[in-house]
């Protein structure tokens, strides 16, 4: 039980990578606060955790809303008395369009959720960690944070900035024995990447299969990764085994060759 007695917040925990991390952490002994915007999905994950004998709390939180994040943190402390681990996973895909066609409101919303949300969660969770002089922050970025990503400028910019935020948090919080690292998934199989490929194919007037190969072809293993692969790395970083790792970004990508 690598996280026995710990308390974790997982944003965007109702589906995809967030769900996989929440279930993984619970299986390793952590109480998990599953945060997001879809109550049904959050309650479903919490029910899975409880059915396995774990502890779970759900909270509705748009991470771009400071009051909602403050409420999420307060609910966690009221229920469990501490915050050991924060996983900033909440994010949106944003528009699929050339820069000249991206609407300002779409740009603002993508950065608000993907970047400002991580900032707000860290800002408001850190005081509890600092008081206890211990903690882990794990930011879910993307390979799009390591190279340009045509047709996805808001998403790309937000994920680049998250890596900078990660390194800054690591520098600022290290004196309190708090680590901060980022995980950069490559293409992750599931409904989200399928929707991304579909939108991209429509915008570029290409077939779904052609665009899918744009994601799979550059990988050494010629496949997408699984959500559980990301959860496994998050678990390592959250556990005592990762206590001396901070300020780093880890690519989980099936060997995706960056351009």
> What residues are annotated to the active site?
155
The residues that bridge with 116 in the sheet, in sequence order, are none
Q: Which residues contact 172 (CB under 8 A, 6 or more apart)?
A: none
Using a 10 angstrom Cβ sphere, with 0-12 exposed, 13-18 middle and 19 or more buried, the burial of residue 122 is: buried
Do 85 and 136 contact (CB within 8 A), yes or no? yes
CA atoms of 58 and 43, how far apart (whole Å): 7
CA atoms of 20 and 41, how far apart (whole Å): 13
Angle at 112 between CA 63 and CA 120, to 5 degrees: 45
**Per-residue buried b or exposed e for 133-160, using 16+ beta carbons within 10 Å of the residue's own CB:** ebbbbbbbbbbbbbeebebbbbbbbbbb
């Amino acid at each position: 039980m690598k996280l026995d007695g710990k308390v974790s917040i997982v944003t965007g925990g109702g589906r995809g990578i967030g769900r996989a991390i929440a279930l993984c952490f619970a299986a390793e002994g952590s109480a998990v606060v599953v945060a997001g915007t879809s109550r049904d999905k959050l309650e479903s994950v919490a029910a899975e955790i409880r059915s396995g004998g774990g502890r779970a709390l759900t909270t509705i939180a748009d991470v771009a809303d400071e009051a909602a994040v403050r409420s999420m943190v307060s609910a966690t402390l009221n229920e469990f008395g501490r915050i050991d681990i924060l996983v900033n996973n909440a994010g949106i895909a944003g528009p699929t369009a050339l820069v000249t066609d991206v609407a300002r409101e779409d740009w603002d919303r993508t950065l608000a959720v993907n970047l400002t949300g991580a900032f707000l969660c860290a800002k408001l969770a850190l005081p509890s960690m600092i008081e206890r002089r211990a903690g882990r922050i794990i930011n879910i970025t993307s390979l799009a944070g390591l190279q340009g990503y045509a047709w996805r400028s808001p998403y790309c910019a937000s994920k680049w900035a998250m890596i900078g935020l990660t390194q800054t948090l690591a520098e600022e919080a290290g004196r309190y024995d708090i680590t901060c690292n980022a995980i950069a998934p490559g293409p992750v199989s599931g409904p989200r990447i399928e929707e991304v490929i579909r939108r991209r194919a429509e915008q570029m007037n290409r077939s779904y299969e052609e665009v899918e190969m744009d994601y799979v072809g550059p990988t050494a293993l010629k496949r997408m990764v699984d959500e559980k692969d990301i959860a496994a790395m998050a678990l390592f970083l959250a556990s005592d085994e990762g206590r001396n790792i901070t300020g780093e970004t880890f690519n989980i990508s099936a060997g995706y060759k960056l351009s």
